[in-house]
Amino acid sequence: MGVTRKLSKSVILIRLCHIVFFLAMIALGFVVDLNGNILGMPHVLSTIVAATVCVLAFLCAIALCVVDRKWRAFGVAGLCVYFLLLLPLVL
């Protein structure tokens, strides 16, 4: 006897947020100019935007790994991509 589990609204919201922040992180990787600023923004504003998106993306990926068993692999893949995007900062 199969039991179907109805997804709660919070799980759906976490999935949606993770997809949005995943795409935002990838897009931010392509819109950075040679000075490291996003679309010609001032350095301070560019840093605030990038840090906020990055932290929210990490939190959504961690929440997805903890809450949703079906999408755990996607959450781990997101964490790996975020780590690789931040790797040039420490090298």
Give the pTM: 0.80
Question: Length of the chain, please?
Answer: 91
Would you give the DSSP letter of residue 2?
-
Residue 6 lies in a domain: no
Residue 89 lies in a domain: no
Q: Is the pLDDT of residue 88 over 60?
A: yes
What does the block give as tokens for 55? 């932290």
Looking only at Cα atoms, what is the longest distance across the chain? 59
Residue 29 lies in a domain: yes
Structural domains in the chain (count):
1
CB 64 within 8 A of CB 32: no
Residue 78 lies in a domain: yes
Burial class of residue 35, CB neighbours in 10 A (0-12, 13-18, 19+) = exposed
Would you give the DSSP letter of residue 64?
H
Residue 25 lies in a domain: yes
pLDDT, one tens digit per residue, over 6-54 is 668 888 899 999 999 999 988 888 888 877 788 888 989 988 988 899 9
pLDDT, one tens digit per residue, over 70-81 is 889 999 999 998
**Residue 38 φ/ψ, nearest 5 degrees:** -85, 115
Identify the domain containing residue 35 by its residue range. 12-83
Residue 91 lies in a domain: no
